[in-house]
Amino acid sequence: MSHESDEIILEASQITKIYPGTVALDKASFKVRRGKVNVLIGENGAGKSTMMKIIAGVEQKTSGNIVIDGEDVDYHTPSEAIAHGVGIIYQELNLFPNLNIAENIFMTRELKKGKHSIDHKKQLTEAKKCLDELRLYVDTSTLVENLRVGQQQLVEIAKVLAQKARILIMDEPTSALSEEEVEILFSIIHKLTKQGVSIVYISHRLEEITHIGDYVTILRDGKFIDEQKVEDIDIPWIINKMTGGNKVERFETGRLPGEVILEANHITMPKEHGDGFVLKDVSFQLKKGEILGIYGLRGAGRTELLECLMGAHQGIEGEILIEGQKLSSCSIPHRIQDGFVLIPEDRKKLGILPNLDVRKNMTLSSLKKYTKRTAIDDTKEEKDVNEVIGYLRVKVPDCSTMITSLSGGNQQKVIIGKSLLTKPKILLMDEPTRGIDIGSKHDVFTICEQLAQDGLGIVFVSSEMQEMLAIPDRVLVLAQGRVKGEFTRDEVTEEKLVHASAIDLNAKY
Amino acid sequence: MLKKPEITQLGLRNAAIQLRTYIALIALIVVFSILSPNFLSSQNLITISKHVAINAIIAIGMTFVVLTGGIDLSVGAIAGLSGMIAGGLIYEGLILNVFGVTIYYHVLVVILISIVVGVLVGLVNGLLVTRFNVAPFIATLGTMYVCRGAAMLRSNGKTFPNLQGKPELGNTGFPFLGAGRILGVPLSVWLMILLVVIGVYLSKKTPFGRYVFAVGGNEDAARLSGIKVKKIKMLVYMISGGCAALVGLIISSELVAAHPATGETYEMNAIAATVLGGTSLAGGRGSISGAILGAFVIGILNDGMVMVGVSSFWQTVIKGVVIVVAVIFDQLQAHGKKNERA
């Protein structure tokens, strides 16, 4: 490495992290330089969150070592990490909305009067000093829930700094901030680095990185790719390194999409609280036997778009036509009847019923089919479930196994099976390969292909760029709730996806 | 759900845990029949089963509610209210001041009206929970007070006596519900058996039952699967209300009098039976048959202790200990499952 001029405060080397079924980090290294903004960058799944969590003590490394100030360190919890001077600010803020600013800042390290009672007065004045440093001038007795998101973020920073953090990890800190708040944050970062605080900065906004960063480290597929001074590189270089500029193996098919089965016109979804939109004027068509990919960063509105199609939200503007017929009612049972079915993103939260077995999970959406008069026809149910288990190659001893004892990939297949039993026309798949092993991923792709050949229209949402290049016939790119690009299979490249999905800093929500 | 035990290495311990309620029940029967020779007499068994029936019928409705992750505190008060409505209709009839007439209904109509009132209270519970997002505990606590107050208001706190009815008014026969016997078995026990059969069928064989478990297991996933979650929740509270109203009728029929304080703390007994039967208060796990078993354990414990001569104060203490121990066993079972997975 050629940048030995700046002192290295933390060095993580040869870090490997193995999750059941996947290798998240593969002998990856990362250097943090004192008083600099150290940017960690990579595609979704490249391992940057894992790296960050390991440095912050949230996750345990499988192997490798971390050196802070020339000393080997070994910590296992976030509080041990903070004792070594490493603090983290999460994207989802970890504050107690029902407590005031001072109480949040001194949580678990309360300033005390005597042995047991909290010295509220001192906490308030000390907290004020912390906030003044960050130029946040609000009363420290304000409840956190009454602060704007940007202000909450500053409180979170104040909290970490009050714990004497010398290394501050920020995970996409600007994703929820207004432009003004981003400027404030950047000036605070400048100030902190001048005081010798080292920043680890993670962001998807490439423009931002060249603006604020000093050093860039690129990870890809869990491996260290490159490290450079920001002044020596530009955005195309970053994209090239992130994607590896490689060609992707594609699923070759002889499919020819048929007539239009789904048409969505000007779908607009207002934000639940406050002004602005989650989705704005989204229109697209889907043909029979076509796989339409939807790409976008977190918060681009992908999941919300699928939920709108599924009838899960009320108060949506725009119209949805299925086989030329406009849909009038908006409820999930109706949409299932219309031929939609959704495989949700968060399998644990929205997909599986942990208290039921495989069979009951699978037939939940199509029970009417198995009901004679009032009772469920067990034999017919079991027969169909076993058929689907065979077709999807679910690894399960028998259909009365509890779903929670299955691996993630097999759980996902059960969820896919559930959707197939409703005899859908349109399959909405939201990150169907998230958190499943490579073998199951391949199975899911094959199933997709098979279903498309059988004439289903498939909407496939993924934040994995490789999947976007390999699977869909057409890719729609969403950014900030709007359609920002559409590419056919032959046109689409990683560079185009990165550019189209990038968040425009100047755009108003 | 009480599953069939599987004998493996850890099987014996697990089987013991899974069958704990059966084991407890058999142990109680053995102990009491040794301590009190009259315990197994047919007369005593009938008395016990009448007591059990009252708790069990409420527990059936309660189990449906608890399976969805809810709770129904209003059942005791509904029992009180339904008894007072039936009592009032039989004792003083429906007084229509506008027309200056009093209408007396046939007993079957009276019973039907009272049960409908119970179902309607359940409907209100369901509306509060689903449309107004009131936590089930609070919603049913509110209706509990309202129903109890309404029961008191119905008679200004007095008892409606002499519910035999009068032949000239055509409203006789009410006492049969509580005192009547078919094949030597009290009608209330037959009703319990009927409701158990219906409850087990509903919960195990029908889509409705499947949906109840689904809603309790993962409400969001159930909703996305196309289940009308609100409808299911409304229905379980209505079932619970109906069951509670029936119990109110059985009690006032047995006493041939309706008292507005009838059914106080019955909600707690029903919850205890439900929990003893292995139903998780978090929802999604449990069974109707378990609740019945729980009701028998509580019933036999109660009556057995009376026969053996345990002081009523100690009875209360022991009942409390049994319930807590049962839940500790539940936790052991849950942890056992977690370990299996890991």
pLDDT by residue (tens digit) across B255-292? 999 999 999 999 999 999 999 888 888 899 999 999 99
Which pLDDT value is given to residue B208? 95
The verdict on A350 touching B (C-beta cutoff 8 Å) is yes
Alpha-carbon span A3 to A9, nearest angstrom: 14
Size of interface A-B (CB pairs under 8 A): 76
Q: What is the pLDDT of residue A44?
A: 66
Q: Which residue of A has its CA nearest to B68?
A: A355
Q: Which two tokens stand for residue A338?
A: 């219309």
Answer whether B221 sits within 8 Å of A350, measured CB to CB: yes
Task: For an interface test with B, give the residue of A367, A374, A405, A407 to mutate (most B CBs within 10 A).
Answer: A367
* Domain closes at, from A243, A269, A300: A243
Residues A283 and A232 grouped into a single domain: no
So what's the pLDDT on residue B13?
67
Using a CB-CB distance cutoff of 8 angstroms, which residues of chain A are in contact with residue B213?
A: 353, 355-356, 360
B221/A352 CB distance under 8 A? yes
Please tell me whether residue A57 adopts helix, strand or coil conformation: coil
Are A282 and A139 part of one and the same domain?
Answer: no
A344 is a domain residue: no
The C-alpha atoms of residue B58 and residue B270 are separated, in whole angstroms, by 6
Task: For chain A, give the number of residues.
Answer: 509
Domain ranges across chain B: 49-265+282-288
Residue in chain B closest to A337 (alpha carbons) equals B226
In a domain, A29, yes or no: yes
**Do residues A416 and A429 share a domain?**
no
| Model confidence pTM above 0.90 | no
CA distance A304 to A311: 10
Q: A180 with A61, same domain? A: yes
User: What are the b/e assignments for B238-258, b being 16+ CB within 10 Å?
Assistant: bbbbbbbbbbbbbbbbbbbbb
Residues of B with CB under 8 A from a CB of A: 201, 205-207, 210-211, 213-214, 216-218, 220-228, 284-285, 340-341
CB contact under 8 A, B210 and A367: yes
Same-domain check for residues A300 and A172 = no
- Chain A residues lying within 8 Å of B224, measured CB to CB: 310, 312, 332, 342, 344, 350-351
Out of A332, A376, A422, whose CB is closest to B205?
A376
| A chain contacts of residue B330, beta-carbon cutoff 8 Å | none
Residue A345 lies in a domain: no
**pLDDT tens-digit profile of B223-265?**
999 999 999 999 999 999 999 999 999 999 999 999 999 999 9
CA distance B37 to chain A (A): 44
Tens of pLDDT, residues A262-273: 999 999 998 877
A354 — contact with chain B (CB < 8 Å)?
yes
* CATH number of the domain within which A189 lies: 3.40.50.300
* Joined tokens for residue B120: 């309607």
Q: Tell me, yes or no, if A54 comes closer than 8 A to chain B by beta carbon.
A: no
Q: Check whether residue A236 and residue A290 sit in a common domain.
A: no
Contacts of A422 in chain B (CB under 8 A): 226
Measured between CB atoms, does A217 come within 8 Å of chain B?
A: no
Inter-residue contact A403 to A355 (CB < 8 Å)? no
Q: Smallest CA–CA separation between B214 and chain A, in Å? A: 6
Cβ atoms within 10 Å, residue B19 = 16
Closest CA to A214 of A177, A245, A189, A244: A189
Same domain, A71 and A170: yes
Rounded CA-CA distance A369/A8 in Å is: 65
CA dist B65 and B77 (Å) reads 16
Residue A226's closest CA among A210, A212, A236, A215? A215
Low-confidence ranges of chain B (pLDDT < 70): 1-18, 333-342
Residues A328 and A472 in one domain: yes
Residues ≥6 apart with Cβ < 8 Å to A258: A287, A288, A289, A455
Is residue A508 included in any domain, yes or no? no
Chain A residues near residue B230 by CB distance under 8 angstroms: none
Tell me the shortest Cα–Cα distance from B12 to chain A, in angstroms. Answer: 21
Cβ(B77)–Cβ(B151) below 8 Å: yes
Mutate to test the interface with A, among B224, B280, B285 (most CBs of A within 10 A): B224
Count of domains in chain A? 4
Per-residue model confidence (pLDDT) at position A441:
81
Note whether A375 contacts B205, CB cutoff 8 Å. yes
Q: Establish how many alpha carbons lie within 13 A of residue A280's alpha carbon, considering only the half-sphere containing its beta carbon.
A: 12
Cβ separation A364–B341 shorter than 8 A = no
8 Å CB contact of B217 and A374: no
- Give how far the C-alpha of residue B324 lies from the chain's centroid of Cα atoms, to the nearest Å: 19
**Smallest Cβ distance to B217: which of A350, A354, A418?**
A354
Among B207, B217, B285, whose Cβ lies nearest the Cβ of A367?
Answer: B207
Task: Determine the Cα–Cα distance for residues B139 and B124; give it in Å rounded to an integer.
Answer: 9
Give the separation between CA A43 and CA A55, rounded to whole angstroms: 19
CA distances from B271 to A81, B75, B215, B241 (A): 46, 10, 19, 14
**B253: amino acid identity, one letter:** S
Q: Domain check: are A412 and A440 in the same one? A: no
Are B224 and A353 in contact (CB < 8 Å)? no
Q: What is the per-residue pLDDT for B338?
A: 46
B86, HSE (Cβ side, Cα atoms, 13 Å)? 42
- Is the ipTM higher than 0.90? The answer is no
In this complex, the residue of A376, A405, A418 whose CB is nearest that of residue B206 is: A376
Assess contact for B128 and B134: CB atoms under 8 A.
yes
Stretches in chain A below the pLDDT threshold 70: 1-5, 21, 44-45, 92, 176, 179, 245-254, 274, 438, 503-509
Q: Is A507 on the interface with B (CB under 8 A)?
A: no
The token pair that represents B178 in the structure block: 């509580």
Of A310, A342, A374, the CB nearest to B206: A374
CA distance B272 to chain A (A): 22
**A332 touching chain B per CB within 8 A:** yes
CA distance A203 to A197: 19
The minimum CA-CA distance between A368 and chain B, rounded to whole Å, is 7
The answer to whether residues A183 and A315 belong to one domain is: no
Residue of A nearest to B220 (CA): A350
Contact B216 A350 (CB under 8 A): no
In Å, how far are A76, A423, B25, B47 from B42, measured between CA atoms? 66, 57, 18, 9
Q: Which residue has the tokens 């297991």?
A: B217
CA dist B160 to A413, B90, B97, B251, B258, Å?
A: 62, 9, 20, 13, 5
Q: Which pair of structure tokens corresponds to residue A500?
A: 């189209």
At residue A314, the pLDDT reads: 85
Q: Does A333 sit within 8 Å of B217, measured CB to CB?
A: no
- What's the confidence (pLDDT) of residue B12? 67
Q: Which domain holds residue A354?
A: 350-423
Question: For B225, which of A355, A365, A376 is closest by C-beta distance?
Answer: A365
A181 lies in the same domain as A198: yes
**A376 contacts chain B (CB < 8 A):** yes
How many CB atoms are closer than 10 A to CB B40? 11
Is A434 found in the same domain as A335? yes
Structural domain contains residue A368: yes
* B222's tokens: 């159930």
Q: What is the DSSP letter of B3?
A: P
Q: What is the pLDDT of residue A5?
A: 61
- Distances A382 to A369, A399, B239, B298 between C-alpha atoms, Å: 12, 8, 29, 38
Instruction: Please tell me the predicted confidence (pLDDT) of residue B131.
Output: 95
- Of A201, A218, A243, the residue at which a domain comes to its end is A243
Q: What's the token pair of residue A448?
A: 């997709």
Instruction: Give φ, ψ of A183 to 5 degrees.
Output: -60, -45
Collapsing DSSP to helix, strand or coil, A203 comes out as coil
**Does some domain include residue A252?**
no
* B207, B224, B285 ranked by CB distance to A312: nearest: B224
- Test mutation, A330, A353, A363, A379, chain B, max B CBs within 10 A: A353
- Single out the residue in A120, A135, A163 at which a domain terminates: A163
Nearest CA in chain B to A330: B226
| Rounded CA separation A451/A458 (Å) | 8
Q: How far is CA B161 from CA B88, B92, B153, B258, B260, in A?
A: 9, 10, 16, 7, 12
Residue reference for tokens 């929990």: B275
Handedness of CA B104, B106, B111, B115 (dihedral sign): negative
Nearest to B263 by CA among B290, B243, B293, B235: B243
Which of B201, B219, B225 would you mutate first to test chain A, the one with the most A CBs within 10 A?
Answer: B225
Task: Please tell me the predicted confidence (pLDDT) of residue B333.
Answer: 67
Query: CA B30 to CA A140: how far, in whole Å?
Result: 66
pLDDT value at residue B133: 94
